[in-house]
Structure 1
Amino acid sequence: MLWMWLVVETRKRFVLLNQFLIKLISIPERLQVNNIKATNKCEVRNEIKRITALYNELCDVVDLINDVFGAGLLISVIFTISYVLLYSIILIDFTVFKIGSSSDVWIIYTSIVWLIENFVKIMALALAGENLSSEANKTVNVCYGLINKLENSEEIRQKLIFLIQQALDRKPCLKASGFFVVKSTMTGFIVGSITSYVIVAVQFLNEMQTHVTQ
């Protein structure tokens, strides 16, 4: 799936960006004003400026992914919910209401397999979105850690604050055409929707079964 590959590759770029920032934190002698040289100070400032530009470009990539794949992702999630609902009702028909004969047991196994497949698809989408969002938001924590290691370097501190503000303003995340954000909370929304529909369907099937027996 192209969408999944793009999300994974974009997350890797955020990981590399955060690792580079962490390397700045792990070299405290470059950031201590009492010992820092003007050349090192300028170098660190330029590195942070370059990282800020890269972060903005990665946010643009995430926005582009949302623009290109948002509608398709929304349709995919809707179809996945429909399939889960359909196979759930089929499973209930053949297990609870005993519709069909013993030779139709293959329908039960097929429904279980398709239910698992669709739930795995939902979890994979949610996990990919959650990992990207958490890695992008990690930049803010890394910057705060870097600021706490600074002593009196106001110029570098301002560069880091600007990066933090950019990260908080952009908030890169994956969206399905603006209807919902693709992250772990999406699974709760989908499971809640499916549960409500299944309950209504079971009540309807129960009433039909009652009328037939009468």
Structure 2
Amino acid sequence: MLATACESTVAEAGKTISICLEYQNEIPTLPKTEELQMLKEELQMICHQAQAKKPVFSAAGFFAVDYTMLGMMIGSVTSDIIVVLQFQK
């Protein structure tokens, strides 16, 4: 559940860029009012920040908490089971 929550949060943060670009495209190239100009500039800043600082969840900086973590855990458990089975023979 933790990996799913982290993965979906990162995916939602990625949607921020497309939402900002969508709203920017609705504003004319040369805004008629100062408010529209400020809105366009703020949307550009948000878009740049979202591109530069994408969220990453990690376990104290050791590894990323996402779906790849589940693959690593399954691989580790599988290799441990194989070693145990070999020692039993």
Q: TM-score, normalised by structure 2?
A: 0.76
Report the counterpart of residue 47 of structure 2 in structure 1.
164
Structure 2: distance between partners of 1:167 and 1:146: 15
Contact 1:127/1:183 (8 A) holds in 2: yes
Whole-Å separation in 1 of the counterparts to 2:66 and 2:17: 19
Q: Distance in 1 between matches of 2:67 and 2:23?
A: 29
Cα distance in 2 for partners of 1:205, 1:161 equals 62
Q: CA deviation at 1:142?
A: 0.8
Alignment of 1:33-182 (within 5 A): 124-152=1-29, 153=31, 155=37, 156-182=39-65
Misfit runs of 4+, over 4 Å: none
Aligned-partner Cα distance in 1 for 2:68–2:26: 34
* Counterpart Cα distance in 2 of 1:130 and 1:160: 25
1:15-30 aligned at under 5 Å gives the runs none
Structure 2: how far apart are the matches of 1:127 and 1:161?
Answer: 30
Residue identity matched to 1:172: P
Is 1:183 the counterpart of 2:66? The answer is yes
The structure carrying a bigger helix percent of its residues is: 1
Provide the C-alpha distance between the structure 2 equivalents of 1:168 and 1:189, rounded to a whole number of angstroms.
28
Asked if the contact 1:126–1:183 (Cα under 8 Å) also holds between the matched residues in 2, the reply is yes
Consecutive unaligned residues in structure 1, runs of 5 or more: 1-123, 207-214
Q: C-alpha distance in 1, partners of 2:47/2:88?
A: 54
1:202 to 71, 82, 85: 85
Gaps of 5+ in 2: none
- Aligned-pair distance for 1:168? 2.0
Aligned-CA RMSD value: 1.8
Give the CA deviation at 1:204: 1.8
Identity %: 37
Could you give the per-residue CA deviations for residues 104-138 of structure 1, whole angstroms, max 9, x where no partner exists?
xxxxxxxxxxxxxxxxxxxx111111122112222
In structure 2, distance between residues paired with 1:144 and 1:192: 40
SS in 2 for 1:144: helix
Rounded Cα–Cα distance in structure 2 between residues aligned with 1:175 and 1:198: 26
Aligned counterpart, 1:61: none
Alignment-mate amino acid for residue 78 of structure 2? T
**Which fold has the larger relative contact order, with Cα–Cα distance below 8 Å and residues 6 or more apart in sequence?**
2
